[in-house]
Structure 1
Amino acid sequence: MKQLKSILVVDDDIVAILTSQRIIKKLKLDVDLLTARHGKEALDIIREICQGDQHLELILLDINMPVMDGFELLEELKHSDDLSCALLRVVLVSSSTHYLDIARAKQYPVIDYLEKPLTAEKLSKFL
């Protein structure tokens, strides 16, 4: 059975999620777009993917969210043995350009830090 590739968008802003959906449709990507409104919800999705027949192509992760923010999610991913099966290609997509957020992001294995809004050009670099 062919593995379904997925992109997980983790953002509490519905406009950011809709923008991601529009961009993925525009790029005609053969992926399943999954969404989570905060880090805890994203963890549940990632665990489910690890147990199923899916492949997580990319995580587009916001920093500032309720319940569990992006940095807390990165910490959880870093230290959870049950998530070792997940392909952790994470791109931080944030409206924050604060140097402390950018410096903190460098402490994690993220592949880039993008300023919102996400565009097709920005996303296509990672696919």
Structure 2
Amino acid sequence: MLDTILCVDDDPITLMLCKMVINKALFSNKIITAKNGEEALNYFKTFKDGDSDIKPQLIFLDLNMPVMGGWEFLDCFSTTEYSEYNTIKVIILSSTIDPEDLEKAKKYPMVLDFLSKPISKEMLEYVKTKIQI
């Protein structure tokens, strides 16, 4: 079981479903949520400021969000400013099935996989094998 994960999605129903499925699957002790990429980046800035010490071990990331989408988040998260977090793996969890998005995801070394919504217990079992927990 992971200690902490971060779910980044603008849809409150998706976030609620993620929490429910993750809790039922005993996948993580703590689930942190962010409504967009900017909110997620701000969460990581709290570590630098010493306001938080709970670093997620995995990020579930939606692509299409207002303010800052998943691609913009990954672009920022890949910079040297966030290099101390580059061991955190990202699972893109999106409703898109565009082959170009699948190829684009491969350009980010922290992206472990690209999975289709909605999250399911079977999906979490698969993710466990990918991250070996």
Bin for the TM-score computed over the shorter chain:
0.7 to 0.9
Cα distance in 2 for partners of 1:53, 1:46 equals: 10
| Count of aligned pairs between the two proteins | 123
Q: Distance in 1 between matches of 2:38 and 2:80?
A: 13
Quickly say closer, same or farther: Cα 1:30–1:94, change in 2 above 3 A: closer
Residue 36 of structure 1 deviates from its aligned partner by: 0.6
Partners of 2:105 and 2:24 lie apart in 1 by 29
SS in 1 for 2:84: coil
Partner of 1:38: 36
In the alignment, the residues of structure 1 paired with residue 11 and residue 38 of structure 2 have an alpha-carbon distance, to the nearest angstrom, of 15
CA contact (8 A) 2:5 2:30 kept: yes
Q: Residue 101 of structure 2: SS of its match in structure 1?
A: helix
Q: 5+ unaligned residues in a row in structure 1: which ranges?
A: none
Matched, 1:16 2:17: no
The normalised TM-score by structure 2 is 0.83
Q: Which runs of 5+ in 2 are unaligned?
A: 129-133
CA contact under 8 A between 1:38 and 1:65: conserved in structure 2? yes
Q: Distance in 2 between matches of 1:30 and 1:91?
A: 15
SS at match of 1:48: helix
Aligned equivalents of 1:104, 1:14: Cα separation in 2: 26
Alignment of 1:37-116 (within 5 A): 37-49=35-47, 51=50, 52-81=52-81, 83-86=82-85, 87-109=87-109, 110-116=111-117
The two structures have a TM-score, normalised by structure 1, of 0.87
**Alpha carbons 1:49, 1:56 under 8 Å: kept:** no
Look up the equivalent residue of 2:57 and give its one-letter code.
E
| Cα gap change, 1:49 to 1:58, in 2 (>3 Å) | farther
